A and B are shown apart, each in its own frame.
Chain A
């Protein structure tokens, strides 16, 4: 990422740029035009995001079964979640296990494929699209169902490896779902590829003149130069992984089984909200998830100071 990316600052009215020209034609009109063009976003953000968020915050302090009016219960949903609900903690455990397995694996695969593509001379565009396709398809229910069929007993994996089904064993099911995520490495891969192409070739030339091995070059040039991109992908994919829903829903037929092994946070949230009709409890869970993701992201940002290296930081 170079400095040319800095967005053009929009024309400012009066103030710092100089004395306000009296009666400048079009000032108001331009502001109006801006609102017109912004309106779909403003409308979407307020009606579809901010309002539901406010409602959900309110509901998290109530007992609400979706059919009758919500009744205020204060912090009861929160205390119940932390102290009386063993299944809640199982869902936290499953989610953390999943994040820790799926995210690093996915990023490693994405980086490996990006590096292979970078050195490729012909057909790069084809492979880039081919590897990106799963990211477009992966979130869909149908792929998750296919995944279930592949990893079920009597499915493809069972026939090839003779390991029995994966999705019906508590110790394997999580791994099958994680693989589905890893398979959708396309989006981070494209970003890695862009990052790799920004690394100046002279660095590698100089390193090979000095006799550095491939591995050495990877560790001393590629990774440090790429660290801002790695960081970006890490944050993005971690946030996504915390919210994983569709694959687990399809693979476990909505139950988070076997034996709660794929009962991810969002799946349990859905279960409480839409199956058990405890919308207040589900809303409280959603807010805790939001805070948890915020905290994890903050931690990532804090650690990034010690390992993310920006080229323009030199000499600072």
Chain B
């Protein structure tokens, strides 16, 4: 064969190139021209990205010896990537974490004990109760960055145009459902994202009934009957066209752009308060927050939770610098001005006092909203057990079977309970 020799030399070249690449991967990490380089990863929307990049630029200016490489993704993609990196012993130097990740990551030895870096990282100004949520076995594995709570996000302009009365702060799930029906009837668009797929929305509803997702012994805090009732409720609304269709709901991927409200095919959504700013670029100035519906007897299910945490990788070669970056993100006055409420209302008391009054735009909406529910919510549940991260997806997938008409709410609920028990074993 005439081409044989060329093929072989090519193959050899490719092999050599690959070996060279492998070697390069092994050694070429932390030094970029005598500088220390930190990897900082987080999840969020483009708005948070712009502000984070600005804050990081300021950090680099204040610390010329430290370079920071940031990367971000939507929540679902971020969660998967971080798990993969952590498993491979390649966790980023500094990373944003969720309440649901703390238990698993800290007990798995992925996170650095930040208490050992208290010389650089100051935590005196943080509410002690909130700070404790990042602690496990007496060690501070992560520091909360902000406080958040869930909300119904809606476009007040469109609601008014449709002639539907704006929601009252103490509305119940039935009143909410009636509003969705009215919106669908007047505008031809579903009123909201189907809440059936969301474990978060279910939790609020469940807590309104006096129950919880998990018991203190890491078991399930509800029965198949509870879940059947919830899914029957949401499935009925979907069949009426009051909430988004299965085809729309299935496209949710954790980013606001792919929600029905973000795609302009519905008029409201459920979300955490701060990340709702992402809708603004799509929906416009009418974007407003209102509390989650309550149970019929007025019990609220909603609660304040540490909106996200920041932590450092246990394997980082630069724990000192990583702690400096964390300190900057939480305690620096200038950074706080840039970041605003993009990660929830700041946890640092001094900064909160200084920042909240000067907040602008949607940050102001978030602050006002939080003030309006202050003192009216019940205490938060304890941090969810580690199997919960997978169960969030299971919840959505099992409801998919309901909304596409492949299972009854009862069948899907029993399915979920079986899977959850296996997961929490």
Q: Which residues of A contact B (CB under 8 A)?
A: 4-5, 37, 40-41, 43-44, 65-68, 80, 84, 86-87, 152-154, 164-165, 168-170, 253-260, 271, 274-277, 279
Contact = CB atoms under 8 A, between A and B. Distances in A.
A165 B251 CA distance: 11
B250 A257 contact: yes
Interface in B381-396: 386-387, 389-390, 393, 396
Closest 7 CB pairs of A and B: A67-B108, A276-B390, A66-B87, A253-B253, A258-B250, A259-B404, A168-B247
Contacts of B77: 254
Contacts of B105: 67
B80 A254 contact: yes
B76 A253 contact: yes
A37 B11 CA distance: 12
B415 interface: yes
A255 B397 contact: yes
B401 interface: yes
Given A66-B87, A274-B87, A41 B400 contact: no
B289 interface: no
Interface string B241-265: 0000011101101000010000100
A170 B405 CA distance: 11
Contacts of A258: 246-247, 250, 400, 404
Contacts of A256: 397
Contacts of B403: 259
Contact of A276 (B247, B396, B423): B423
Contacts of A274: 80, 83-84, 87
Contacts of A43: 19
A43 B86 CA distance: 26
Contact of A66 (B1, B86, B258, B401): B86
18 contacts: A66-B83, A66-B87, A67-B87, A67-B104, A67-B108, A84-B422, A86-B415, A170-B406, A257-B400, A259-B250, A259-B403, A259-B404, A259-B406, A260-B400, A271-B393, A275-B83, A277-B386, A277-B389
B247 A67 contact: no
B42 to A, nearest CB: 19
Nearest to A68: B108
A260 B415 CA distance: 14
Interface string B364-399: 000000000000000000000011011001001100
A168 B86 CA distance: 32
Nearest to B20: A40
Contacts of B215: none
A293 to B, nearest CB: 24
B250 A168 contact: yes
A96 B105 CA distance: 36
A266 to B, nearest CB: 14
Interface string B52-87: 000000000000000000000000110110011011
Q: How large is the interface on B (under 10, 10 to 19, 20 to 34, 35 or more residues)?
A: 35 or more
Contacts of B404: 170, 258-259
A259 B402 CA distance: 9
A264 to B, nearest CB: 14
B10 interface: no
Interface centre among A4, A65, A254, A257 (most CB of B within 10 A): A257
Interface of B: 1, 12, 15-16, 18-19, 76-77, 79-80, 83-84, 86-87, 104-105, 107-110, 246-248, 250-251, 253, 258, 263, 386-387, 389-390, 393, 396-397, 400-401, 403-404, 406, 415, 419, 422-423
A275 B3 CA distance: 46
B247 A165 contact: yes
Contacts of A279: 87
A138 B248 CA distance: 27
Given A66-B87, A274-B83, A168 B248 contact: yes
Contacts of B79: 275
Contacts of A275: 79-80, 83, 389-390, 393
A164 B265 CA distance: 14
A11 to B, nearest CB: 17
Contacts of B397: 87, 255-257, 260
A154 B77 CA distance: 24
A154 to B, nearest CB: 8
Contacts of A66: 83, 86-87, 108
A277 B390 contact: yes
Contact of A67 (B109, B390, B423): B109
Contact of A277 (B15, B83, B419): B83
A284 B87 CA distance: 18
Given A40-B15, A168-B248, A168-B251, A255 B393 contact: yes
B247 A169 contact: yes
Contact of B247 (A4, A87, A164, A253): A164
Contacts of A257: 250, 397, 400
A260 B387 CA distance: 21
A10 to B, nearest CB: 13
B250 A40 contact: no
A41 B12 CA distance: 10
A95 B217 CA distance: 38
Given A86-B415, A254-B80, 8 more contacts: A153-B247, A168-B247, A257-B397, A257-B400, A258-B246, A259-B403, A259-B404, A274-B87
Nearest to B84: A274
Nearest to B108: A67
Contacts of B258: 253
Contacts of B387: 276
Nearest to B1: A5
A15 to B, nearest CB: 26
Contacts of A169: 247
B255 to A, nearest CB: 9
B309 to A, nearest CB: 17
Given A169-B247, A275-B80, A259 B19 contact: no
B256 to A, nearest CB: 14
Given A4-B1, A259-B250, A65 B108 contact: yes
Given A67-B86, A258-B404, A40 B251 contact: no
A74 B87 CA distance: 23
